Amino acid sequence: MNEPARVLIVGCGNLLRGDDAVGPILVRHLWQRGVPHLVRCADGGTGGMDVAFQMRGVPHVIIVDACTSGSEPGSIFRLSGTDCETPPLAGVNLHAFRWDHALAFARWALKEEYPPRIDVWLIEAERLEVGEPLSPKVEAAMHRVCDLLMQEVDVSLAEAAA
């Protein structure tokens, strides 16, 4: 029998747009490395609505995506999910529904099954052109975030077991 996940790592972004692919590529690296028992990884791609429903009942959710804040490419930012929730704007269609909209939507839709802890890790993108691979700075940051996430997962699982 499958035990429910204690931690869910969701990589968001578009695999076709250079550094925007960092979230889904990070998830693929974690699958290759192997993730601990009770940890699930999901490729959130560009499907914000899917992100909302994958979070159902998971105590700790980690979202990883690219950002464009104007900072140095490869910069890493860690935020609380509550800091990132953006209520969907009226008239937003599914193509424009992002993970930050999904957080607000999930709080409404999942109610008591909404995750009590959501962390968002963002990596500053350098290039977002269609067909480009990850830039070297973003790829290096992605590997650093992989290592940091595994440390965080160990702490989260230890807290849950205590």
Q: For residue 64, which of 115, 124, 136, 133 has the smallest C-alpha distance?
A: 124
154 confidence band (pLDDT: 50, 70, 90): very high
- Mean pLDDT score of the chain: 89
If one compares 135 and 95, the residue with the highest pLDDT of the two is: 135
List, for residues 16-33, the tens digit of each pLDDT value. 999 999 999 999 999 999
d(CA 50, CA 47): 5
List, for residues 33-58, the tens digit of each pLDDT value. 999 999 999 988 766 677 788 899 99
Can you read off the two tokens belonging to residue 106? 């999930």
DSSP structure string for 85-125: --PPPTT--GGG--HHHHHHHHHHHHGGGS-SEEEEEEEE-
Residue with structure tokens 């424009």?
A: 96
List, for residues 68-105, the tens digit of each pLDDT value. 999 999 999 999 988 887 776 566 666 667 788 888 88
